[in-house]
Amino acid sequence: MADRSSFAQWLKQRRKALGLTQKELAQQAGCAEITLRKIEAGDLHPSAPLVASMVALFASVEFM
């Protein structure tokens, strides 16, 4: 699906721009590293609470 791919690309780009590894983001967002890998690969669609957690994390890191 194009939407999953777009989100996956955005997520990977934001994570890298903030200098976070997949492991670091997963730990801070409260999910397993494999879950994050699958989301970034476009193989898994994240739940709404997980998306909200990542967006809040990105916002807090960006404005520090």
pLDDT of residue 1: 45
> 2: pLDDT confidence band, cut at 50, 70 and 90?
low
Query: What's this model's pTM, rounded to 2 decimal places?
Result: 0.83
Which domains occur in the chain, in start order?
A: 2-62 (1.10.260.40)
Q: Angle 56-51-22 (CA atoms, 0-180°, nearest 5)?
A: 85
pLDDT in tens, 19-31: 999 999 999 999 9
pLDDT of residue 29: 92
Measured distance between the N- and C-terminal CA atoms of the chain, rounded to whole angstroms? 34
